[in-house]
Each structure stands twice: as structure tokens, then as C-alpha cells.
Chains A and B, each alone.
Chain A
Amino acid sequence: MSTFIPGLVHVPVTPFTPDLKIDFNTFEKIIAFHLQHGAQALAVQMHEGESVSLSDLEQRKVLDFVIKTVKGKVPVIAHVSDPGTAIAADRAQYAERAGAAAVIATSTYYWTPPANMVLEHFAAIGGAVKIPFYVLFTPDELGGTHHINADMMMKLIDRLPNFAGVADASLDWQFMINVVSNAWRKRPAFQLVAGNEYMVSAGAVGATSMFTSLAAIAPKRLQKLYEICRTEKYFDAREVQEDIVVLRQTLKPYGRGALKAAMRAMGRDVGQVRPPLDPLSPAEMEKLAADLKALKWLSSEPTGW
């Protein structure tokens, strides 16, 4: 079993040209920005990277491109989720061959299979590779289609020697505690990963790594949050945690297009989101820029590339 620990994982967006093709020139700048600003690993084509708006071929091209561009400076984690079990497993194998350090997958999209089939779905994806495999738990994004619970994760530990951990985006304390407290009895190296920027509570119950897409906006603040939490001084992390939460809540009403719009406001134009996601209108863009300007601490974050 690998002792791979992702650490502070930046989640890059996928940039598009005006005609909505993948903009690899800008992608190179995005990767350089993340590497320069504290990324200990990159997780590509996550939902924030619009994975489900990329064709299977595009997902493979993106992964190849990122691995080639990173040149081994940090590990690259490949998100391989798909409604079809075999398709996701095949994508995981491709990622391993391409040089990904780990793969991550969430529950099936669209289908609502029974719990035993969700377990089989994960077992097939993780079992298709030898590199570490992580489960992403993100019930808010999957509506009622999630059937992930602590008991299923324990069964998966029994099935997969490379099942390395759970990235939790549910923010559910009961789930996190149940998973990690039981998993550590079976596999002491099992990892709880904060699936987004709520690191204080996740860290307090055992999370050692954190995924963040907001590092594209405020990498310094995210690095500070992560570093304080890794010293387990959670009271000291509260202020910076609240800053990050305010940033999240500022973007939230604008929808999925807000992350790219906020990057633009910070001087890093990465194009628009692909349909069916809505880009922000010029008026919304202007309002978001004003909202961000009102966050005084954000002025200490890098602008431009």
C-alpha cells in the first residue's frame, strides 16, 4: 500500500477559448500559477474542472497535458467518474498508464443503483488500478443518487488494498467521524480528505489533506488555512476559515460560472464555462467583481498570472 498523502490539493478549472475549445495555452498558465502558489498536488477534471462537460477523449488529453506540463513537480490526481462502471474503470487505467499518482471517483451519475451495486462500481474502478484510489463523497452535487455510507467504505477497504481514503464534500460530521474512526481500525493509513475548503472541522476529526478550487482566487489564504490546520491549532484557523467561507458564499449565488468569473476579476481570464452551464452576464460579472472588492483581505492575494 502506498503512503501517498495528497496534502494541499489545488483543483484547476479547465479553460476554454471563445469557441469553447480547450485552451491549452491558458491551461499552461493556470498550472504554473497553482505550482507557484502552494499546490502540493493537482486534481484534474474534477467537477470544478467541468469534467462532465468534457468528452472522454478530452479528459484523456487534459490529463496527458497536465502530467506533461507538471513534469513531476507535484503528483497529479485524476478524477475518473462516469455513470458507466466499465467506462470509469477504463478511464482509471488510462490515468495510471499516463502517470497519474492516484485516481478519484464519486458515485454513479444519473443512475440510482442499490447500495451493493454502488459498492461494485467503486470496487471495479479501484480494482482496475494499482495506484491509490479515493472515493469522492459529494451528495449535494448528486442529489438523491448517493448511496455512500461508512459501512460501504469498510467493505471497500476489505476489497481494495489501494483504497486510500475518502474525500468528503458532504461536510457531514457524522459521516466523516464514522468513516475515519472505523477505517483507522482496519487500515491505519486510511485518509480523510477535506473535499473542499471547510478544513477546520474536517481536520479536527482527522482530515490530513484538502482539495481546493478557490486556490485559483486566494491561494495565500488557502495555504495559510491548510498549514495552521496541519499544526492542529484549529482555534487559530477560525479567522482564516471564516474568510474563505465568506469567499465561497460570495460566489455561491452566481452558480457554477462564478469561479471562472472570479478568476477573471483577479486578472486571470480563463474563458467561460461550457453549456449547459450559464456564464455570468456582464451585469452579474460587474456585481461579482464589486462583491470581491468588498473583501478587503482579498487585496493581498495575487492578481494576474
Chain B
Amino acid sequence: MALILRGVMQSPVTPLKEDFSLDIPTYEKLVDFHVRTGATAISWPHHKAESHNLTKEERMRGAEATVNAVHGRVPVSIHVSSMSVEDAMELAQHAQKIGADAIIAITPYFWAPSPDAIYDYFVRLGTSIDLPMIAYNSPAYLEGVEFTAELIERLLLRLPNLIAMKEASFNSEKFMEISRVALKVRPSFSIVAGVEFLAPSVPLGCVGSYSSAGAICPNLCTALFDASINGRSAEARELQFKLAALWDLFRDQYPSSLKGGMVAMGRYVGPTRPPLPTASKEREAFIAKKLEELGILDTEPHGW
């Protein structure tokens, strides 16, 4: 399947049983929910899916479950970033073997690598597979380690399979530097916003978002994308404000609060693995009240 990135793409959370083990049947229901409610692609396990709290074997099982549950309806990309580069390489090989459509990877963790080291890592990763690759930029979470325009240009000239970037700087200058340089080298390159910051990015070439709130309010996410891509600026702004209020609600102890909010929507996905906390009953009630105030309970699907 050709990988077309456009619209609201979903990166599901990872459902867990009360003993914190993987809950694959609920995960399959969640993936199916996302596809039925408009996801244009599925990508797993992003940080929101507690990627760092899963063993390599669990990530492989989850990746297989993703491909099976999606069953070819939309493209699937597998997030392979790991503390160890060697694990990332192995997860990329596994993604290709099980029939994923792409891999996605962030800049290496912890070591604050130089631009040349980041370049070498992505060349090694990208040339180890025949799949398309999506780069993931998140400088705020990685102490400023990021893709510069110069770095992405070098990588695009080297890697024909580097087809997109998840851009999560949420910053006009950083976004524009990457977009104007990358699109000059490869006009088909797709820049996807991390979280639904679509109103400020779509006019500058952003093609969609990896959703943060799609498990709560897929209709709102789709409406924001539609308003943004069709230039209905005032409507997009209002929807953006609403989604920003939700992001404020969920980014505190992300994804614990997101999982807590899913309870109110009738989609229970269990606890969050330590060291992240699990949303308390009080926190769940607080989130439910906020969702009601924002009109989410009346306008979004309840249950699976």
C-alpha cells in the first residue's frame, strides 16, 4: 500500500489489564474504533502509547496486533525509537517483516547526539529497510535535540525512503525552516503536526496531524482538519481553541489523563504503567466534568 499521509492520523494508547499486562483484545477494539471514526492512518506505539514502558517483545506483539486489526484499511506505521539504537534497528526489521507500511523514529534519546550522529543514525536506520520512513522531531521533550533544516536536507538527499516528518516543535520558525527546505528538495515530503496544532500549521504546508485527543473526540479532530485545510480560518481557530483546552487537560501526566478521560467516553483502557501515574477516580471525575463543559460528551461517540 502506498503511504499517503493526510488528515487526522491516530496513534492509539496501549490498553493494559489491571495487572499492567498488555490487553490485546481491547487494543484491537481501540484500533478498530479509530479506523471507523475517520483515522487516515494508524501509528503505534508513540510515547502516548507508553513506548518506553513496553519491552521489545511487547512492542513486537503490539505491532503485529496493529497490522492485523487494521487489516489493510489504512496505512500502518510502527514507531521504533528505543533507548538503544540496536533495539530500534531490530524493531524496524520486525515492522518490515510483519507487513507494516512504514516506520517512524525520533532523534536518539538521552545522549544529546550531534547533528552528524543523528544523520548517521537515520541513514543506518533508513537503509536497513525497504519501507518508507517518517522522522519525528520533538525538541522540547529532548532538551533541544532536533532536526534542523540543514540536517533534514542532508537526509533527504541521502534517503529516498524518508517521506515525512512528525513535527512537534509547535514553533513557527522551526516548522517553516523544515517545511521550506524539505519541500524544495522533495515536494512530495509530508509534514505532519504532532498533536492537533493544525490552524497555525496547515496554511504553511502541514498535511495533517498525529492526534492526541482522537480517542476522546474524533469528530472534533476531523472538523478542525476540514476547517483548516479548506481555509475556514475563523472556524478553525475556534475548534483549535477547544482542542488546545483538551490538550492542556491531557498533557498533564500524558497519557494517564487521556486514559482517564477515555473512561468518561465509555472506552476503558485500564491503568498506566509506572513510573507514570494512573489517573485517580478524582482525576477521572475532574476530566469528565471538563469534557462535559466543553460539550464533548454530547458530540462525540460513546463506547466502542
- Interface residues in chain A, defined as those with a beta carbon under 8 Å from any beta carbon in chain B: 170-174, 176-178, 181, 198, 200-202, 204-206, 232-235, 237-238, 241-242, 245-246, 249
Contacts and interface: CB of A to CB of B under 8 A. Distances in A.
Interface of B: 170-177, 180, 197, 199-201, 203-205, 231, 233-234, 236-237, 240-241, 244-245, 247-248
B180 to A, nearest CB: 5
Contact of B244 (A170, A171, A181, A238): A181
Nearest to A170: B171
Contacts, number: 77
A303 B228 CA distance: 38
Given A198-B172, A249-B177, A238 B203 contact: yes
Given A204-B233, A241-B176, 11 more contacts: A170-B171, A171-B171, A173-B171, A173-B197, A200-B172, A200-B203, A201-B201, A202-B172, A232-B234, A233-B231, A249-B177
Contact of B233 (A172, A173, A234): A234
A102 to B, nearest CB: 24
10 contacts: A172-B170, A173-B170, A178-B248, A198-B176, A201-B200, A205-B199, A205-B237, A241-B176, A245-B173, A246-B180
B203 A234 contact: yes
Nearest to A245: B176
A181 B170 contact: no
Contact of B204 (A178, A200, A233): A200
Contact of A174 (B231, B233, B234, B244): B244
Nearest to A237: B203
A232 B241 contact: no
A149 B240 CA distance: 19
A177 B231 contact: no
Nearest to A150: B248
Contacts of A206: 237
Nearest to A244: B176
B72 to A, nearest CB: 33
Interface centre among B174, B201, B237 (most CB of A within 10 A): B237
Contacts of B199: 204-205
B146 to A, nearest CB: 14
Given A178-B248, A205-B199, A206-B237, A241 B171 contact: no
B85 to A, nearest CB: 30
Nearest to A168: B172
A245 B180 contact: yes
Contacts of A204: 199-200, 203, 233, 236-237
Contacts of A201: 172, 175, 200-201, 203-204
A93 to B, nearest CB: 34
A299 to B, nearest CB: 21
8 nearest CB pairs, A to B:
A234-B203, A201-B200, A181-B241, A198-B172, A171-B172, A232-B233, A201-B172, A177-B244
A172 B241 CA distance: 14
A205 B176 CA distance: 16
B40 to A, nearest CB: 21
Nearest to B230: A235
A151 to B, nearest CB: 11
Contact of A241 (B174, B204, B240): B204
Contacts of A200: 172, 200, 203-204
B176 A242 contact: yes
B204 A238 contact: yes
B138 to A, nearest CB: 13
B177 A238 contact: no
A171 to B, nearest CB: 4
Contacts of B203: 200-201, 204, 234-235, 237-238
Contact of B245 (A181, A233, A241): A181
A26 B300 CA distance: 62
Contact of B200 (A205, A233, A245, A246): A205
A212 to B, nearest CB: 14
B274 to A, nearest CB: 27
Nearest to A242: B180
A202 B176 CA distance: 13
Contacts of A198: 172-173, 176
Contacts of B205: 238
A234 B244 contact: no
